[in-house]
Amino acid sequence: MNPDNETAVSVSHLSKKYRIRQRGEGPSTAAEAALGFLRGRTKPTYFDAVNDVSFEAKWGDIVGIIGRNGAGKSTLLKILTRITAPTTGRAVLHGRVGSLLEVGTGFHPELTGRENVYLNGTLLGMRRKEIESRFDEIVDFAGVEAFLDTQVKRFSTGMYVRLAFGVAAHLQSEILMVDEVLAVGDAEFQEKCLRKMREVAQTGRCVFLVSHQVHAVRALATRSLYLQQGQLIYDGTVEGALEVYKESFERISSDDAIEAGMRPGSGDVRFATVRPVKESFDAAEEKILEFTTTASPDISYKHHIRCDIVDSDWDIVVRLDSPLVKFSIDPRTAVHGTIVLRTPWLRPGLYTVNLSLWGGRARVDYWETACSFRVMPIFPYEGVASQAATEGAPVLADFSFTTTERSDASA
């Protein structure tokens, strides 16, 4: 209990339980609460979002936290940033904590850029003097000098994000926690952000980073934690954690699947089963998935389906959104259906499928890594398929080259 000076963060046996509300269970109005009280309570179900996690981080560490959706990464950060309280356990932070769980938190659309920098900076834990002394740097970083006195509701998304990240990047706190914020902005700006975060760590501070983008973690983190179903199952090098992550795909099976009731979405209608018709496909072959849904007799409007094919780097390779092909399902009847991907061709490797069901703009069901399939290195190309030729880009294409003689060229 007496850590040396090198320890920035020490976490011991941290857990967070959530009470799960099934549909129709749990009060949402005072009247329901009163009724529930009179009837006697139903026994609630609990869900361990974070389960007995212990680790230490040193100054200068950039800790990448990875894991599938629902593994507890964001909950862990929320506990460490004191947004939500742990159920049991203890964490000691040896410095001020700055957090960026969402770009532009606390930005108010009606306020000007300048006013928002002060508001946001204060919320993130900066003193007025600190903001004043770094104001020019922040504005310069974001590149929005000309619009400082414009209300941010008139900002473009890019400007908004750059300004918001600028504030967070100039936090003076000794510990910085960042959740999935590199997904925004253009490539150049992302590079700038990565550089900034590296600088932060080089000055001896400690950075925590949650990301879905493997390349961001790989580029930045000096060590990594891998979470699975709330438990810390790997604590070590980045490459090691990524190995564990990739392996976790191999082990997707029915017993590993998240229970339908615990999946995000309103749950009025859900997917019952999803599976590929074959375990492996050729690169250019039609990839066919079969799914079944449950029914809800009370819902009369159409639902549509979104199917994301995700590669082993966690990048979405293709998105199959059913409104684009004018397809929807009637939630009143349980259906059996197929999803067919004809193009592009997929490069060899393991793919997972994220399925979501939408009723209007509301997400009714979201099933991450619902199933997986393998694409074999069997190509319809006539030439020799080198690794560089087939694995250099996210997808493969049906293409050709032709030449004709130039008539305008001098001999």
Partner 1 sequence: MLQRRSSGRQVRIVITPPRRWALPSVARMWEAREVLVRFSVRDITLRYRQTALGVIWVILQPLLAAGVLTFVFSSVAKLPSGGVPPIVYTFAGLLLFNLMSSVISRGSNSLVANASLVSKVYFPRLLVPLSTAGSALMDFTVSLIFMGVLLVVFGVSPGLAVVLVPVWVVLTVCLAAGVAFIASALTVSYRDVQYVIPFLLQIILYGSPVAYSLGKVSPHYRIIYDLNPMTWLLDDMRWSVLHQPEPSVVLLALSVVFPMAVLLFGSFVFQQRERGFADVI
What residues make contact with partner 1 under the rule CB under 8 A? 6, 18, 27-31, 33, 59-60, 78-97, 99, 101-102, 105-106, 108, 110-111, 115, 118-119, 122-125, 127-128, 130, 172, 174, 203-205
Select 31 or 187, whichever has its Cβ closest to partner 1: 31
d(CA 409, CA 411): 6
Going from the C-alpha of 382 to that of each of 280, 283, 287, 404, the distances in angstroms are: 21, 13, 21, 21
The nearest distance, CB 96 to partner 1, in angstroms, is: 5
**Alpha helix stretches (DSSP H) within 170-301:** 187-202, 214-220, 238-250
Nearer to partner 1, 227 or 339 (CB): 227
Nearer to partner 1, 130 or 290 (CB): 130
The nearer residue to partner 1, 90 or 278, going by C-beta atoms, is: 90
Other C-beta atoms closer than 10 Å to the C-beta of 333 total: 10
Give whichever of 54 and 280 is closer to partner 1, judged by the CB atom: 54
Shortest distance, position 232 Cβ to partner 1, whole Å: 17
DSSP, res 229: T
Report the nearest approach of partner 1 to the CB of residue 113 (Å). 14
- Of 113 and 276, which has the nearer Cβ to partner 1? 113
Question: Would you list the DSSP string of 206-222?
Answer: EEEEE-S-HHHHHHH-S
* Shorter beta-carbon distance to partner 1: residue 15 or 190: 15
Q: Checking phi first, is residue 214 left (phi over 0); if not, alpha (psi -120 to 50) or beta?
A: alpha
Where do we find the tokens 């393991």?
350
**How near is the Cβ of 56 to partner 1 at its closest, in Å?**
14
Contacts 24+ apart (CB under 8 A), 71-76: 71/227, 71/228, 71/229, 71/230, 72/16, 72/227, 72/229, 72/230, 72/231, 73/179, 73/210, 73/227, 74/101, 74/179, 74/180, 74/210, 75/16, 75/49, 75/50, 75/230, 76/14, 76/50, 76/227
- Least distance from partner 1 to the Cβ atom of residue 333, Å: 34
Toward partner 1, which CB reaches closer, 27 or 392?
27
Residue 81 tokens, joined: 């940033």
Q: How far is CA 131 from the centre of its chain?
A: 30
Q: What is the DSSP letter of 322?
A: G
The SS3 call for residue 390 is helix
Report in angstroms how near the CB of residue 172 gets to partner 1 at its nearest: 6
Q: Which is nearer to partner 1, 78 or 287 (CB)?
A: 78
Task: In angstroms, give the least distance from the CB of 68 to partner 1.
Answer: 21
Consecutive H or E run containing 117: helix 113-123
Strands in 271-276's sheet, in edge-to-edge order, are 271-276, 287-293, 336-341
**For partner 1, which is the closer residue by CB, 105 or 390?**
105
**What's the closest the beta carbon of residue 85 comes to partner 1, in angstroms?**
5
- Short-list 266, 134, 351, CA closest to 124: 134
Minimum CB–partner distance for residue 76 and partner 1 (Å): 11
Exposed, middle or buried, 186 (CB in 10 Å: 0-12/13-18/19+)? exposed
d(CA 97, CA 172): 9
CB of 381 to partner 1, least distance (A): 49
Nearer residue to partner 1 within complex by CB, 87 or 229: 87
Work out how close the CB of 119 gets to partner 1 at its nearest, in angstroms, rounded to a whole number: 5
- With the C-alpha atoms ordered 209, 212, 215, 218, is the resulting torsion angle positive or negative? positive
* Tokens matching residue 224: 């990594």
